[in-house]
Structure 1
Amino acid sequence: MNWYEKLNQYFPVEEMKSKEHMETLLKEHPEDYHKDEGPYHVLMYAELDSFVFIDYLYISKESRGQGLGHQLLEKLKKKEKPIILEVEPINYEDTDTEKRLRFYKREGFEHASSIGYRRRSLATKEMNEMEILYWAPNNESEELVFKAMQKTYEMIHTYRDTHFYGESYQPVDEVLTFEKDKAGEDILDEI
């Protein structure tokens, strides 16, 4: 099974980019967009000057619990930049969502509760809500994380979207919101 098939089988359709989209990012933005692949993992990420964005992290079922995810994150943490990622809210019918959140909590990630992320899926036409998690080596603010997410959305998620999907995703200001005084629930406290 190739790297894309692994991701496509694991991640929900509303979260998946097309293979052509990811391959184009790798080819046209090799300085920013990267693939780290091994027999038991696929890590797709963007590294910019001030942050790292994890687009996809897949660890095969047979190798979970053996420290591979920790090793991959440690490699990124050594860059000494905030690490940002999107994660599904807990779905009690899908035990992987809670396990995933536990993993990131153990790895020192925090929930950016002041950031809202709500995007219409081009594949399903349904609204898809995600939570933003981040690791901040120098206590970077959620405002910095928000700005990084805006940049990621425009540089990575919507890159040539009309070409790949026949239509555009919503503009960034419709998808991402920042409420500085929002006392949102910390999803990592729930687990």
Structure 2
Amino acid sequence: MSRIGLKPINVPSNVEVKLDANNFVTVKGPKGTLEQQLPKLMIIELNEGVITVARPNDEKQSRSLHGLTRTLISNMIIGVTDGYEKVLEIVGVGYRAQKKGKKLVMNLGFSHPVEMEDPNGIETAVDGTNKVIVKGIDKQQVGNYAAVIRDWRKPEPYKGKGIKYANEVIRRKAGKTGK
């Protein structure tokens, strides 16, 4: 049995959930609206502010989609009420970030600054010169955009220079040893 899939989802009073045919879910809240097509195999029911997800049988595919479907709906509700954010830290001498309108401009040791335009639904903010905060209502988009930013200069294991997540621990290596 899926422990996550069996948990009911409580819908807050300021959130409106709409279930259409073929499991197309629309969630509307104070921060915005999210829409997603969920697996048609799952049985999604909304009764008096509580969403339950059930599976039709115990086949492998049904079992694997049960918890996923419930988590996707839960993430949509959390996104439109609280939103998601990822914090990135830029570590290195001369490495810095700044915000110019809707563009994030980073100096990462290249011969040119790296400019990135914020996609729709995603907002970036710079705290100081070495912290970048990625915010949005869609958990997948926030994580994906943070990963794209991090890919410009992944942290290296010798000095720890690069862009890392705030809670990420970089395993350090010992450098060369002299004679």
TM bracket, shorter-chain basis: under 0.3
> Higher helix proportion, which one?
1
**Greater relative contact order (Cα 8 A, min sep 6): structure 1 or 2?**
1
> Higher strand proportion, which one?
2
TM-score using structure 1 length: 0.21
